[in-house]
Amino acid sequence: MEKRILLSSPTMHEEELTYVKEAFDRNWIAPLGFNCDGFEDEMGAYLSGKEDKTYYTLSLCSGTSALHLAVKLAGVKRGDIVLASDMTFSATVNPISYEGGVQVFVDSERDTWNMDPESLELAFSKYPEAKVVVLAHLYGTPAKMKEITDICKKHNAVLIEDAAEALSAQYEGKMCGTFGKYNAISFNGNKIITTSGGGMLISDDEASRKKAFFWATQAREPAPWYQHEEIGYNYRMSNVVAGIGRGQLLHLEEHRDRKEAIYRRYAEGLSGLPVTMNPYLDNTKPNFWLSCLLIDEGCQVAPMDILNRLNEANVESRPIWKPMHMQPVFRGHDVVSAADKSVGEDVFARGLCLPSDIKMTEEEQQYVIDAIRSCF
């Protein structure tokens, strides 16, 4: 294949430019502005879906900054234990360190690859002082939210949802990114919709949004001069970038449907091989951000064999997120699992993320499938 087939790259339409042009025409390039306001309102309305509930949204420069402000809002202080997803991208858990918190990692379950409720319960029995849980929905697949929210309630813990990969995914009809007290989504270049870079903080609490806005705009106190009583950050999204987001949001459902079609074609095209697709629950509607395969136990083919073969064929694939407890930077952090051996380590050892770019044609996807089949 001459053109490289990518994992997930931006897909732009017409409307993005219209909003961006308006920002230029009105010379409104600075952070804050009408596109930011519009993007926040439109996303708030989208997330509330069929619920009759208001979500307060704050557009920011990244998903990571949204997670950082979420951790601050949750009140994490130096030395506090925070229970966090083990198998995820480091950006889920790094902000805990920004505030001096200490991550205790919680293993995954096999039905969604997300945080295992039993392991979370076990972590609370080991660390009853824990008051905050940070959970990620991997690859756009909703976690077991009923069990997780029940456990958090029982232990009086604040839930932070990292829905960076899961915008538009639903659990029993409720949107991912609305389950936690504070939630984050990302518009990084590879996500289901993108602003080139950006993120959003979501909460059902207006005062929290206000506080986060204050921190994100350098913590300026209301005074005629620059007055500061707290440490602030420069985390806001620019009015230009928000314009891209408004245009992308119009195409979110279409992107989701195309991602799902890719997943279904892989499931069909790879049938008969000793592999399964990344699993999800019947009562959920994933956004299928990335299609992943899991090689059967005992099979001699390793994920890296497939990755290398695909790479030779000019196709991008990527290993599953390497669990945080295996990362040198988190050496010495505890990891809690209700299973005999780490589920995260096992999925990492046998899994692979497949190209899920929505501009990939059916012929190109067949080419990828054929290349994978040739490995077995």
Ligand X SMILES: *Cc1c(COP(=O)(O)O)cnc(C)c1O
In the bound complex, which residue of the shown chain has the CB atom lying closest to ligand X?
63
Give the single-character DSSP code of 203: E
Task: Give the span between the Cα atoms of 79 and 369, in whole angstroms.
Answer: 48
Residues near 312 by Cβ (< 8 Å), separated by ≥ 6? Answer: none
Phi and psi torsions of 295, nearest 5° = -80, 135
Residue 155 vs 286, nearer CB to ligand X = 286
Residue 58 vs 275, nearer CB to ligand X = 58
- The H helix count followed by the E strand count for the chain is 12, 15
Query: Closest Cα partner for 162 from 36, 247, 67, 231?
Result: 67
Task: Give the span between the Cα atoms of 264 and 231, in whole angstroms.
Answer: 48
Q: Are 244 and 95 in contact (CB under 8 A)?
A: no
Query: Can residue 60 be called a binding residue for ligand X (CB under 6 A)?
Result: no
Residue 190 vs 218, nearer CB to ligand X = 190
Residue 155 vs 236, nearer CB to ligand X = 236
Task: Give the span between the Cα atoms of 176 and 184, in whole angstroms.
Answer: 10
Q: Are 67 and 160 in contact (CB under 8 A)?
A: yes
Beta pairing partners, 292:
353
Residue 262 vs 275, nearer CB to ligand X = 262
Nearest distance from C-beta of residue 75 to ligand X, angstroms: 21
Nearest distance from C-beta of residue 279 to ligand X, angstroms: 18
Tell me the pairing of strands 182-186 and 284-285. Answer: unpaired
Nearest distance from C-beta of residue 61 to ligand X, angstroms: 8
Nearest distance from C-beta of residue 375 to ligand X, angstroms: 27
Residue 88 vs 112, nearer CB to ligand X = 88
Query: Total residues at the site for ligand X (CB under 6 A)?
Result: 14
Residue 22 vs 85, nearer CB to ligand X = 85
Among residues 38, 199, 286, 344, the one that binds ligand X under rule CB under 6 A: 199
Q: Are 266 and 293 in contact (CB under 8 A)?
A: yes
Token readout for 159 is 């839930």
Dihedral sign from CA coordinates of 295, 300, 304, 308: negative
Query: Can residue 346 be called a binding residue for ligand X (CB under 6 A)?
Result: no
User: What is the crossing angle of helices 117-126 and 145-154, to 10°?
Assistant: 20
Residue 92 vs 183, nearer CB to ligand X = 92
Stretch that binds ligand X, among 57-65, 71-79, 343-351, 361-369 (CB under 6 A): 57-65
* Pattern 72-111, ligand X, x by CB under 6 A: ----------------xx-xx-------------------
Of the CA atoms within 13 Å of residue 145, those in its CB half-sphere come to: 27
Query: Can residue 10 be called a binding residue for ligand X (CB under 6 A)?
Result: no
Nearest distance from C-beta of residue 86 to ligand X, angstroms: 12
Among residues 35, 62, 119, 287, the one that binds ligand X under rule CB under 6 A: 62
Query: Can residue 245 be called a binding residue for ligand X (CB under 6 A)?
Result: no
Q: Edge to edge, what strands does the sheet with 351-353 contain? A: 275-277, 292-295, 351-353, 318-319
Nearest distance from C-beta of residue 138 to ligand X, angstroms: 7
* Pattern 133-172, ligand X, x by CB under 6 A: ---x-------------------------x-xx-------
Residue 134 vs 368, nearer CB to ligand X = 134
What is the distance, to the nearest Å, from the Cα of residue 305 to the centroid of all Cα atoms in its chain? 27
Nearest distance from C-beta of residue 268 to ligand X, angstroms: 27
Contacts with ligand X by CB under 6 A lie at 62-64, 88-89, 91-92, 136, 162, 164-165, 186, 188, 199
